Structure 1
């Protein structure tokens, strides 16, 4: 446990799927003036350099974000442009930075990360954004902190799936938060692997009637991850169209 470091995978096709959808959902939720709350359970370090030793070792970003040029005016383009303006053209935002780039003064952000090095880097990256950064176990903390104010919100559950039972734990956490905080959309990211363990996750979330987005992609010659999925409980009105826009923007590398 706590061995996963996302820097090796930043900007890969799974990140593209997650971040493009996340950006569209935040844009959707912030159309009205009233504030929203954003909660993330496994935040990582928040900011990555695609020329770092870790990124170049795997080359996964070269099969993902570097192949795309989202149009001006799209939510993800706005987020990427803001990050690159501040941190350079090779910077790539993790989901906390995607969210921070699109949230407003009236919005609230809470992030959790247990890995000591990742947490320290996250605190540094998020300085000045107003985000509350916790070195806290997500399966305890996310339940304890919800519901949040403002009540309208979005939760991202994105564990590393280092152990088999994490699929079930992620689903159970999503259902607990959904019941405690029905005004929020709760989005769970999961990998699509040959073992098919995501089926248990979806089965445990079935009673919540999630909006599901699954995509396939080519990564490392088809070895390992075949695609990724997002299951959204309490999806807000217009979420279907928002997800469709995100997938369309990433269609050169994602297969719906």
Structure 2
């Protein structure tokens, strides 16, 4: 349960999909003069050096942020590229922002942010990255239940588990139903892997049945290496901000070029 470390996968094709949409949503939400709450259930370390031995060992970033930058998928005005430019100016050209530091780039002093991370090494690295949020070394699902509904009530929750615990696929629909009942105005965002064996399909079927107006954005890409099970990335967004569907469609089209 505590073996997963994202440094081996940071900046990959799934991260690009997830972070481009997350940055777009945060940019949209903070564009209005109203405070918001940001909650993240599985934060990771927040900052990744793509030049490190661990990141270079898999080379997955080259098929994600590397490919996107080489092909000009996201111009300099895109919210994700703005956040990455700020991170690189502060830490160096080889660094990549995880979702906590993407959020830090957009959140304002009047906003509230809570990040959960249970892995001890990842939690220590997250604290060192100074994400400008209240940190919790705690199970993220428990934290979400404890904090909702948050103050301010306007806001976004990112649910991004590693899915090492296979029971997550069965448990997440009930978890999101519970959170949505308590926080009916929150933008609830679930990232999930598309797997070759299709085990995520039952979870998404349940979610789309419960949340008919939610946005489902999926992209496909080749496995990172022969035999690797992840063949795509999905984002399920309850209460999607206006315009997100267009941005998701634009991004999805790039993956098939």
TM-score, length of structure 1 as denominator length:
0.93
What is aligned with 1:101? 105
Unaligned 5+ segments in structure 1 are none
| In 1: Cα distance, 2:110 partner to 2:143 partner | 23
What is aligned with 2:256? 255
The CA RMSD measured in Å over matched residues stands at: 1.6
Unaligned 5+ segments in structure 2 are none
What is aligned with 2:176? 174
Moved >6 Å (runs of 4+):
none
Task: Select 2:137's aligned residue among 135, 138, 147.
Answer: 135
After superposition, residues 143-182 of structure 1 pair within 5 angstroms as 143-182=145-184
Instruction: Note the alpha carbon deviations across 1:75-128, whole angstroms, 9 max, x for none.
Output: 11110100001010000001111111122222211100000100111111125x
Deviates more, 1:81-90 or 1:166-175: 166-175
Specify the SS of the correspondent of 2:161.
coil
Q: How many residues align?
A: 250
**Relative to structure 1, is the Cα distance of residues 80 and 247 closer, same or farther in structure 2, using a 3 angstrom cutoff?**
farther
What is aligned with 2:34? 34
What is aligned with 2:79? 75
Deviates more, 1:217-226 or 1:39-48: 217-226
Q: Establish whether residue 207 from structure 1 lines up as the match of residue 194 from structure 2.
A: no
Specify the SS of the correspondent of 1:226.
strand
- Retained in 1: the 8 A contact 2:218–2:252? no
Q: CA deviation at 1:238?
A: 2.6
Q: CA deviation at 1:246?
A: 4.3
Instruction: Note the alpha carbon deviations across 1:2-46, whole angstroms, 9 max, x for none.
Output: 110000000000000000010111111112111111110000000
Instruction: Note the alpha carbon deviations across 1:119-147, whole angstroms, 9 max, x for none.
Output: 111111125x2x00100111211111111
Q: Establish whether residue 193 from structure 1 lines up as the match of residue 195 from structure 2.
A: yes
TM-score, length of structure 2 as denominator length:
0.92
- Retained in 2: the 8 A contact 1:167–1:201? yes
- Retained in 2: the 8 A contact 1:168–1:204? no
- Retained in 1: the 8 A contact 2:13–2:61? yes
| In 1: Cα distance, 2:108 partner to 2:190 partner | 23
